[in-house]
Structure 1
Amino acid sequence: MIDMYPFRNAVTVSHMMTEPYARRAHVLVDMTCGNGHDTAFLARTMPDDAVLYAFDIQPCAIERTRQRLQDEGLGDKDVRCCCGSHEQLLADVSSDVDIIVFNLGYLPSGDHKIHTNCEITLKAIKIGLNKIAINGIIMI
């Protein structure tokens, strides 16, 4: 399995650690979907009956994520893309969450003045800790 994931960067390490959980998850959340790479990974890996929430504060990130899902043939997966602040959107997820993924920073090829805010992210993490399912994970 390690051959599948060369340790190129933090994202590949995150995917390697998340994959076993994603394969059996029912509810997944990508807190900062950006260009949709993590969202597509989770959608490819999750069971067919799972639901994936993809959040971002920037409308262009939501559109890029939707386009990536279509381009990668994942349009039939239950992925709910929502634009807004991740702490508010996570509060609206009604069920326990098996996986929460944060890929923090700014949107690549986007406006670098818009970036993850520490205070808001800490609020989202606290909400996530109260929503995480037994044996679930939060990847930051």
Structure 2
Amino acid sequence: MINWFSAAKLGHHFIAEKLQAGDTAVDGTMGNGHDTLILAQLVGPTGKVWAFDIQAQALANTRERLATAGVLDERIELIQDGHEYIKKYVSHPIQAAIYNLGYLPGGDHAIITLTETTLTAIRDTLDLLAAGGRMVVVVYPGHPGGDREKEAVEAYLARLDAREYKVLKCNFLNRPATAPGVILIEKGGGRN
């Protein structure tokens, strides 16, 4: 059963519809490893997941979550670097990517994703996305800087060529404007 009213769970559903065993995926904001684990389970032992975060604590938390789930193996590459450097590590097409913007839950809330680096990461991830692939961006405008980042991400994605990309924005109508939202991007072509 899908929890349609959790931004992160809705993002997982959008990715799970497309990602298959043997595929490749990126978690652009590793955090506590929830998204990394979902991606690893979806791609299976023959797939590949690259997960990025700048904080050592995020890598430690993710490593522990993956080990507990029994999926900490060669299919997953945990990278302590900014997501704006994705092309330094990933050079071939990916089928899916997920970004949960903001800060590390349970971590230092002063360390946040930044508009400029996030836009670079999204642009480069779209370049890497295979035909028919999907990217999910979960935006959190409720923290300092989050509203600016959300607006910039939405403005960038709104300008994508509609013949090449489908972009869907999901927001909750009866929650404050600071509530998280989900943006789904699907690249044209590929498998259905």
TM-score (normalizing by structure 2) = 0.67
| Identity value in percent | 36
Matches within 5 A, 1:98-137: 98-137=95-134
**Equivalent residue number for residue 86 of structure 1:** 83
Matching residue's letter, 1:48: P
**Equivalent residue number for residue 55 of structure 1:** 52
**Alpha-carbon distance change, 22 to 77 in structure 1, aligned in 2, over 3 angstroms:** farther
Deviant stretches of 4+, over 4 Å: none
**Alpha-carbon distance change, 47 to 71 in structure 1, aligned in 2, over 3 angstroms:** closer
Number of equivalenced pairs: 137
Distance 1:105 1:73 in 2: 28
TM-superposed CA distance for 1:46, in Å, is 1.5
Distance 1:77 1:5 in 2: 29
Larger radius of gyration: 2
RMSD after superposition: 1.4
TM-score (normalizing by structure 1) = 0.91
Give the number of the structure with larger relative contact order, counting CA–CA contacts within 8 Å between residues 6 or more apart. Answer: 1
Contact conserved, 1:43 with 1:77, CA < 8 A, in 2?
A: no
Per-residue Cα deviation, 1:33-68 (whole angstroms, up to 9, x for no partner)? 100011111111213211000100111101110110
**Equivalent residue number for residue 9 of structure 2:** 12
1:65 equivalent in alignment to 2:75: no
Alignment gaps of 5+ in structure 1: none
**Equivalent residue number for residue 31 of structure 1:** 28
Q: Which has the higher helix share?
A: 1
**Equivalent residue number for residue 41 of structure 1:** 38
Distance 1:8 1:25 in 2: 30
Contact conserved, 1:25 with 1:99, CA < 8 A, in 2?
A: no
Alignment gaps of 5+ in structure 2: 138-192
Contact conserved, 1:52 with 1:79, CA < 8 A, in 2?
A: yes
